[in-house]
Structure 1
Amino acid sequence: MKIVFLLVAFVGAGLLGAVQPATGLPTEILQLTQFGPALGVAVALIFWPTRVKALLAGAFSGRGGTRTGLALAATAVVVVTGAAAVYGLIGGDAGPTMPQHSLLVIAVAQFVGACGEEIGWRCFLQPAVRTRWGVLASSTAVGLIWGLWHPVFAEGWAYATAFVVATVSMSIVLGVALDGVRAHRLWLAGTFHTLVNLAMLLFMDEESGAVVPMALLAATCAVAAVGWLASRATNMPRVESQAG
């Protein structure tokens, strides 16, 4: 099941990226490749409906998740603004730079695209891998796949390495934050993803292939991942004692 999902996610993203120029849709607004993981989930749902529905439980609805959502939103803002601040201090172009198209349209489209990814990465693949591995190992594995799914190696090894470090770190943040959460998982992950993308669009120029801003983002994301892991380690004994 996971193999089929990954094959469709990778191949589907490539096909969607190939047809995007024909649609006339600016990539600044939305990249169709983001829906590759959603296609993977759709195909898996056809062949393994019961298992996929179980994995997606709590992805769209439920009760709770507000505190997690606020913590994730704060993390997204801090990691990008922190990277942008350092980038500006060392002489980089840290914006803010307004996009060519309506920011509201971009924000809505980015959220839709982020959810197209996250229904696959965090709502399907993460809980599927989590059934066998711990939260750190499963989050790292999903983060590696997520990073390698992006066609970033054309920008060079330094940029690609920094990008993958960033995706692994963000995957750990999301994996820890959503572990055990059974409400609004898609909206929580999609909001975090969208905030990171929008903030990078406004304040950083990593899309040009510049290595330094991507390396700075990787560093701040790694710090955030360590913080979330430390928080989890601190809170686990309390949760266990309450459960007992």
Structure 2
Amino acid sequence: METFEDIGAARSQRVWGTAGGFLAVAFAAAGALGAVQQAAGVPAEVIQLAQFGPAAGVAALALVQRDRVARLVRGAGRSGAGRSGAGRSGAGRSGAGRSGAGRGAALLATAPLITVLAILAYLLVQGGTADGWFTRPGSLEHSFALIVVAQLVGACAEELGWRCLLQPLLRTRFGVLASSVAVGVLWGLWHVPVFAQRPQYAAAFLAATVAMSVVLGLALEGTGGARRLLLAGGFHTLVNLGMLLFLDEESGAVLPMVCFGSACLLAALPWVMRTPSGAGSAAATLHRT
């Protein structure tokens, strides 16, 4: 007869096996797509083809675990208010919907807040001067409208893997904060070229991905399906556009990246402080995928 420990061990193996398969494809596909981008001369200002690596990981898993992947992406079995319940009243569902809408709006507002905080930190360190800190959209080599659309498509391709598959998957075994931090670390490590830069740059970038992952994990808790993808992709796009127009981190300069990482950490604090006690408990392990 199987014990609870045996069942728990089997479920853990399934979770880590699924996560490992996703990460292997996401890393490999990102590397291959990066090589294609260089060979084809696709402008990085418009889109990074490597962003489609996580989506490739989801697609590969769906070939062998179609139902499970569909449940995760759809949000079935997620914890908290997001779980469907026939016994909930209409007023309860309406209240949960308003709460979700409020968190979605707060999430999207957090992205420009990060940009503003990064600019303020940069100006403070520079003594109030920051020549050339703003890039006019019209001065870019390509249409800004095209860049916005391409950035949204690329961000959604990334978030399909990170926030719509891996986060819900790890959430079945860990609390919301622990799973969000884990996804943030993996998300940061996935940006392999970043770690060819100076250690301060790489550390600041990793701090940024962890902080943003915590914001996304808390904001999207209980949200699934297309809404989850669009909110995550929208936040990601706004952050990327803010970096494109206001920061010079792509040059490898340490100060802009340190300011960005610090801004992400500051922006995450209110989200963490408002997390109810026990929201990150091991109760998530009871949910099925």
TM-score by length of 2: 0.77
1:16/1:142 CA distance change after superposition, 3 Å: same
The answer to whether structure 1 residue 96 and structure 2 residue 96 are counterparts is no
Q: Secondary structure at the match of 1:30?
A: coil
* Aligned Cα root-mean-square deviation (Å): 2.0
Q: Provide, for residues 86-129 of structure 1, a one-character-per-residue CA deviation record: whole Å limited to 9, x for no partner.
A: 21342444622132211111010000000010000000000000
Counterpart of 1:222, as a letter, is: L
Equivalence for 1:159: 201
Gaps of 5+ in 1: 237-244
1:235/1:199 CA distance change after superposition, 3 Å: farther
Of 244, 247, 257, which residue of structure 2 is paired with 1:214? 257
Equivalence for 1:187: 230
Cα distance in 1 between the residues matched to 2:149 and 2:194: 24
1:177/1:93 CA distance change after superposition, 3 Å: farther
Equivalence for 1:144: 185
The answer to whether structure 1 residue 174 and structure 2 residue 216 are counterparts is yes
Cα distance in 1 between the residues matched to 2:251 and 2:158: 22
Cα distance in 2 between the residues matched to 1:12 and 1:100: 27
Equivalence for 1:233: 276
Give 1:229 shift.
1.1
Of 64, 87, 107, which residue of structure 2 is paired with 1:47? 64
Q: Provide, for residues 149-184 of structure 1, a one-character-per-residue CA deviation record: whole Å limited to 9, x for no partner.
A: 002011121100000000000000000001112351
Cα distance in 2 between the residues matched to 1:51 and 1:132: 15
Gaps of 5+ in 2: 1-17, 77-83, 85-93, 280-289
Spell out structure 1 runs of 4+ moving beyond 3 A.
Answer: 62-66, 91-94
Q: Secondary structure at the match of 1:50?
A: helix
Counting matched residue pairs gives 234
Cα distance in 2 between the residues matched to 1:116 and 1:21: 19
1:191/1:235 CA distance change after superposition, 3 Å: farther
Cα distance in 2 between the residues matched to 1:220 and 1:234: 25
Q: Secondary structure at the match of 1:129?
A: helix
Cα distance in 2 between the residues matched to 1:13 and 1:92: 34
Of 189, 205, 225, which residue of structure 1 is paired with 2:248? 205
Cα distance in 2 between the residues matched to 1:31 and 1:174: 21
Paired residues of 1:11 and 1:36 also in contact (CA < 8 A): yes
Equivalence for 1:118: 159
Q: Provide, for residues 54-80 of structure 1, a one-character-per-residue CA deviation record: whole Å limited to 9, x for no partner.
A: 100159xx9954322211111000111
Equivalence for 2:48: 31
Q: Secondary structure at the match of 2:141?
A: coil
Cα distance in 1 between the residues matched to 2:166 and 2:23: 9
Give 1:225 shift.
1.5
TM-score by length of 1: 0.91
Q: Which has the larger radius of gyration?
A: 2
Equivalence for 1:240: none
Q: Secondary structure at the match of 2:74?
A: coil
